[in-house]
Structure 1
Amino acid sequence: MGADRALGFLNEMLWASLLVAGPVLIATLLVGILISVFQVTTQLQEITLSYVPKILVAAFLLIAIGPWMMGRVTQFASSLYLLIPTLAG
């Protein structure tokens, strides 16, 4: 296996991980920014006010799009397993 092929696999892996993890990360980032703006405007510095909404949003998204995420990861893994016989040559 050449270096270019290995870099291609690495590139595919990084894009797949970004596509799978992106929605949850973006949603928690947006909720965190909204909560921070709320805390700054009200001067309410409660630590649980920051964590609880982000955890709830992340859990909701994992439940809602979890099957799609697992499908993408499974599809990527199975495509790699199907490529194993072609790497021997």
Structure 2
Amino acid sequence: MTLESSLDIVREAFLVIITVAGPVLLVALVVGLFISIIQAATQIQEQTLSFVPKVLAVIGSLIVLGNFMLNSIVSFTERIFEIISGL
């Protein structure tokens, strides 16, 4: 295995991490921003008001995007195993 192929595997791993974790983090960011705007407008400073909706949104996004996430990870793992068996 050459240095270039190792770097390609690492690059692909980072891309898979970004595509799997990115949508869930984006949902948490948008919900957190929305709740913060509401808190600033109403001057309600309850900590659980920002925590609970984010947790529910992340769980909902995991339910919706779980199949895509699992397929991405499984296909990457299969490619890694193919590369390992080719050595």
Does TM-score exceed 0.5, indicating one fold? Answer: yes
- Identity in percent: 37
Q: Secondary structure at the match of 1:72?
A: helix
1:74 is aligned to 74
Matched residues in 2 for 1:24 and 1:85: separation?
33
Report the count of equivalent residues.
87
Note the C-alpha offset of 1:85: 2.5
Aligned AA (1:24): V
What is the distance in 1 between the residues matched to 2:45 and 2:36? 9
Structure 1 segments of 4+ aligned residues over 4 angstroms from their partners: none
Amino acid across the alignment from 1:10: V
Q: Which amino acid aligns with 1:69?
A: M
What residue in structure 1 maps to residue 41 of structure 2? 41
Structure 1 gaps of 5+ residues are: none
TM-score by length of 2: 0.95
Matched, 1:64 2:64: yes
Where do 5+ consecutive residues of structure 2 fail to align? none
**What is the CA–CA distance in structure 1 between the aligned matches of 2:85 and 2:66, rounded to whole Å?**
30
TM-score (norm 1): 0.93
